[in-house]
Chains A and B, each alone.
Chain A
Amino acid sequence: MIWFALQKLLGLVATLLVAAAITFIALDLLPGDTARFILGINATPESVEALREQLGLNAPALERFFTWLRGMFVGDFGMSYTQREPVAGLIAGRLGVTLPLTFFAMILSAGIGLPIGILAARKRGSAVDTGLMTLSQLGVAVPNFWFGMLLVLLFAVTLRWLPPGGFVPWGDNVFGALGSLILPSFALALPQAAILARVMRTALVDVQSSDYIRTARAKGLTMSEAVWRHGVRNAMLPVLTILGLQFAYLVAGTVIVENVFYLPGLGRLIFDAISARDLILVRSSVMILIVAVIGTMFLTELAYGWVDPRLRARRDE
């Protein structure tokens, strides 16, 4: 087990180093002069040059890359070019919105999707099954920014039950903060719930016809008991895979929902930073996202290896 984990860790570090290099190069290629953008079109060329010096933009690429890497190891992600504040603080602030939003969305999607999938599987072939699966088809097909807009129009503008957007800081009012995240979480959760429902159903249906279920029934358990006691646990493996992928998608893919609900999330930070050519903010934020996602995948694989010893022997999936 230890050897397995160490192997994986080595792979993780290698991936991250390559990721950092590619990220740095890709962003450095972006055309556009940060200093000129900050100072505007009226600024004198001398001012622009003075700012470039101040921000350290004239240093050679290799030097900037290693300074950045070294800084990241001690938690210093540099100073934002446009906001003149430590990048680490800016990102931390946004994580206070993006992380809770991601978790709520995942809890919602699992809480809605999994029961629906289980129900559909148990009533396989019936009208209930068809109905639920049709709904899930709809859920996957609706663009989430459109759904978000519709939620706002219904629950905020018409019913006035919830705010149309914005974020009340956790420190100000915990309930206000939670309230700000309800509609966005639903907007994000819907297509994910639909996917989870279908995956759960497929996995359970597979499981229902498997050997160990037949054995359980032969021993006298009803289908429901057999499925519940043995089946669901085994069906969870593919579901876990999907949940892991969902986390990756949600953490990085919230820009659009953040726009619709004007939330101060990580996605918008990156988007705005790219427009402002604040390269140091962009590359550090992107690295944090990559670390989060690869880290999650790493942990998932570890969990797999722990759960199913056979997988440790086989090559990684």
Chain B
Amino acid sequence: MALKTAVAAFALALSLAGVAAAAARTDLKLGLALEPTGLDPTIDAAASIDDVVYQNIYEGLTRIDQNGAVQPALATSWDVTDDGLTYTFHLAEGVTFHDSTSFDAEDVIFTYGRITAADSINPQKAFFAGIDSVTAPDAKTVVIKLKAADGLFLFNVGRGAAVIVAPESEPTNVTNPVGTGPFKFVRWQKGATLSVEQFAGYWGTKPALTSVTYTFIKDAAARVNALRTGAIDGINNTDASTLPIFTNDPNFKVLVGTTEGETLLVQNNAREPFSNLKVRQAIAHAIDRKEIIAGASSGYGTPIGSHFPPHNPDYIDLTGTYPYDLDAAKKLLAEAGYPDGFTATLKLPPVPYALLGGQIIASQLAKVGIKLNLVNLTDFAQWIGEVYTNHDFDLTIVSHIEPNDIGIYANPNYYFGYNDPDFQAILKTLNETTDPAARKELLIAAQKRLAEQAVNGYLYELPQIGVWNAKLEGMWQNQPIGGVVLTGIHWME
């Protein structure tokens, strides 16, 4: 008798367990290639930090959505004066930080005070140089006055380094991040994993996931193995070379999207022979973008003709400005005084698109007599030192992943030394313009100018290649800003 009851109870327990298992999972094991050095994005520029914390642990006054548009966040609405100088942000109510302290205007003042301080070490301080004052007429309102109108101000307010932090927790944010976001930090096993869990007191819509564990895997082949064994459920950005393993496997879905990364063959415009427009035009004619995309990115990536991302509504296709034409290239080189070509060095940072792209471009330019010596740099620190700070280079290949960064061409002291008063004039007007239609006109003019001047070799837009468990939904296909936003991700069942 007792045995029968026991068996029945056991069977019931089993069936209940079965039912529980059939409900969708709410945990996620996410893979990331790079581990962050700390968890405070306001004192360290590493992109790996935003990958973990942006919009997950911390939030800003505004946020950038998956289409690159500005959306409300901790500021639920705002008013802008007609002269574009005064922004009044209305803050959300009932918001608490993960340590239960409440959020109000004081925290916003504290955050922006830190960003704009004279000894600030915020990596994006330059974007907020135009701030004149930040005041709080009451606990739910913040008024920011600018020195001059800034068409990108609301976007910048939504960037990773402008997230709101609290004075109580700020000193320890680097190892124990405290924000207002939907996920709260649980623990970090340095070198191995980092876990976060859903924040019960979140003021906004609760996410579907209840816990997320990040595993840091630098080696590309190891990432493939981790995906295949289910040690991780997905990775938002991985090597294109490994995709064929997953594209035909029904257990996985591959999400190929765009990023803000313009991959360029950067030319030192301040140096011979690249200061000569004809030489730059010749190089533009000698570059075969299709072959580069096929070889360096396994075919993934959209060709670009100027420094602007194709997914942006203000983009125009300028890839035809200097079509692939070896004869035209040789003719231009001869006109420029280099009938037999010339020799130059190409410095490459240690990333696959640069290493592979460099080999391919060297092979292509050799066909018009330009002989390239490839110099592989050990790491990005070396690239920043030699190329970026000291401007000691002829050519380099790099991807500029900052959103809205066409303005770098208006800075004559930027590392590639392009000094064009016409372009600087266009940008000056653009920065002061807030009307979207007017901005579009100016942006088109800017793109055209850069394309015609062949300032750099515009190769392709870096793709975001995500490999995910087929049952996952809600991941961002594109990456308009640094970060891996977890809020929309859920399991289908």
Could you tell me which A residues sit within 8 Å of B by CB distance?
Answer: 31-33, 36-44, 46-47, 50-51, 54, 82-85, 90, 93-94, 97, 149, 152-153, 156-157, 160, 163-167, 169, 259-265, 268-269, 272, 274-277
Contact = CB atoms under 8 A, between A and B. Distances in A.
A163 B229 contact: yes
Contact of A94 (B191, B381, B386, B389): B191
B221 interface: yes
The residue among A39, A50, A268 with the most chain B CB atoms within 10 A of its own CB is A39
B118 interface: yes
B425 to A, nearest CB: 23
Interface in B227-265: 228-229, 231
Given A33-B385, A157-B228, A262-B219, A47 B192 contact: no
A276 B37 contact: yes
B402 A42 contact: yes
A42 B38 contact: no
A47 B124 CA distance: 10
Contacts of A163: 229, 231
Nearest to B405: A42
A247 B475 CA distance: 46
B389 A33 contact: yes
B222 A261 contact: yes
B412 interface: no
Contacts of A37: 380-381, 384
B267 to A, nearest CB: 18
Contact of A51 (B35, B121, B218): B121
Nearest to B173: A84
Interface in B8-37: 35, 37
A278 to B, nearest CB: 8
Given A82-B38, A262-B215, A264-B190, 16 more contacts: A36-B389, A41-B388, A42-B126, A43-B121, A43-B124, A50-B121, A83-B38, A97-B191, A149-B221, A157-B225, A163-B229, A165-B222, A165-B226, A165-B231, A260-B222, A265-B191
Question: In which size bucket is the chain B interface?
Answer: 35 or more
Interface of B: 35, 37-38, 44-46, 118-127, 174-175, 189-193, 215-219, 221-222, 225-226, 228-229, 231, 378-382, 384-386, 388-389, 402
Nearest to A32: B381
Contacts of B191: 93-94, 97, 167, 263-265, 268-269
A262 B174 contact: no
B384 A47 contact: no
B231 A164 contact: yes
7 contacts: A33-B385, A44-B125, A84-B175, A97-B191, A157-B225, A166-B215, A264-B192
B153 to A, nearest CB: 16
B216 A262 contact: yes
Contacts of A149: 221
A221 to B, nearest CB: 53
Interface of B is mostly: loop
Contacts, number: 144
Nearest to A53: B119
B45 A42 contact: yes
Nearest to A153: B225
A269 B191 CA distance: 8
A164 B222 contact: yes
Given A93-B190, A275-B380, A39 B221 contact: no
B218 A259 contact: yes
A39 B402 CA distance: 14
A44 B44 contact: no
A264 B216 CA distance: 9
Contacts of A160: 229
Contact of A164 (B124, B229, B382): B229
Contacts of B379: 274-275
A196 B245 CA distance: 39
Contact of A166 (B121, B125, B231, B386): B231
Contacts of A261: 222
Contacts of B222: 152, 164-165, 259-262
Contacts of A277: 381
Given A163-B229, A164-B222, A276 B123 contact: no
Contacts of B189: 167, 169, 264
4 A-B pairs with least C-beta separation: A264-B191, A40-B45, A32-B381, A164-B225
A83 B228 CA distance: 32
Task: With a 10 A CB-CB cut-off, give which of A97, A165, A260 has the most chain B CB atoms.
Answer: A165
B331 to A, nearest CB: 37
Contacts of B215: 166, 262
B384 A36 contact: yes
A83 to B, nearest CB: 5
